[in-house]
Amino acid sequence: MAINLGDDQELKFDDEKNTWVLRTYVSPKETLAFNERSGKWSTFYSYKPESMCSINSEFAVFLGGKMFVLGRDEETYNNLPTKTAFGQVVSKVSPTSITVVSNQNPSDNKIYQSIELESSSLWSVPEIETENGQISSLPESAFTGNMENVFESGYGKKENKFFAYFLNNESTEGGLLEGDKLRDNSLVAKIIYTANKAAKLFAVNFKFTKSFRSGQ
C-alpha cells in the first residue's frame, strides 16, 4: 500500500510491523514510522533509502541501485543498508536505541538504586543522565555479573528480567565505582541493543528511594 505525496516525500505501509513508513527527501532528511495500532508516531529509522516498497508482506528499501529486504529472517535484524564515504553501499549492524525517562513523583528528590529490563535479550545502558547533569552508564556486563569488583550481589536475569545496580556519577571524585550516588528528581536513560537477532522489550523499571538530604 502506498500514498503519493509528491517528489519530496514517500509513504509506504510495512505489513509486518503494521506501520506507515515516511521518507522525506528534503531537509531534514528523515525516515520515521507511524504505528497504526497505537495511532502514534513510534520511531525514527536510521536508514535513509532512495526508495521503498512492500513485497508480499515484506518491506524493502533501495539504496545505490540495490534492494535490501528488512527483517527477512531473524539473523538480519539491525542490519541496515548504508553508504560509505566512498559511495559503496554495504549492510552493517545499526544499533536499536530507546530513550526512557524516570520522573515518578517529580517533586521528590530521589536516590536511584537499580534498573530492571523486562526483555527477551540483553541490552546495555551507555547513557544515563539526571535532571541536574549527573552522568553514569551500564555496559551489558553489568547485567550478567562479569564486571569484577563492581557488585556484591543482585545482578543477573530472572524470568526475562535483567537487573543491575546503578553505578555512580562518573563526573565526581571516584568515578563510576566510588563517586557520588545518582541523586535527583528525574533521570533519563538511553538503552541500546546491538545484536542482529530479534528482541522484545516489554518494560523498563527503575528502583529508587526518597532522599531527605537538605539543600538538594
Does residue 215 lie within any of the structural domains?
no
Q: What is the pLDDT of residue 148?
A: 45
Judgement on whether residues 50 and 153 belong to the same structural domain of the protein: no
Distance, CA of 176 to CA of 38 (rounded, Å): 38
From residue 202, alpha-carbon distances to 100, 118, 120, 185, 196 in Å are 12, 5, 9, 24, 19
Per-residue pLDDT of the chain in tens (216 residues, 90 and over written 9): 555 566 678 888 888 777 888 888 777 778 888 888 888 888 888 777 888 888 777 888 887 777 877 766 555 677 666 666 555 666 666 788 899 999 998 889 999 999 999 988 889 999 999 999 999 999 888 887 554 434 444 456 666 688 889 999 999 999 999 999 999 999 999 999 988 777 888 999 999 999 876 444
Judgement on whether residues 178 and 122 belong to the same structural domain of the protein: yes
Other CB atoms within a 10 A radius of the CB of residue 2 amount to 12
CATH number at residue 181: 2.60.120
Question: What's at 19, amino acid-wise?
Answer: T
Residue ending a domain, among 94, 110, 125, is 94
Does residue 126 lie within any of the structural domains?
yes
Per-residue buried b or exposed e for 80-112, using 16+ beta carbons within 10 Å of the residue's own CB: bbeeeeeeeeeeeebebbeebebeeeeeebbbb
Domain total in the chain: 2
Short-list 130, 121, 136, 139, CA closest to 196: 121
- pTM for the model: 0.69
Short-list 92, 112, 89, CA closest to 101: 112
Does residue 74 lie within any of the structural domains?
yes
Short-list 115, 122, 129, CA closest to 182: 129
Other CB atoms within a 10 A radius of the CB of residue 142 amount to 23
Does residue 167 lie within any of the structural domains?
yes
Q: What is the pLDDT of residue 75?
A: 55
Judgement on whether residues 124 and 90 belong to the same structural domain of the protein: no
Judgement on whether residues 165 and 196 belong to the same structural domain of the protein: yes
Residue ending a domain, among 46, 74, 94, is 94
Give me the domain span that covers residue 160.
Answer: 97-210
Residue ending a domain, among 30, 63, 94, is 94
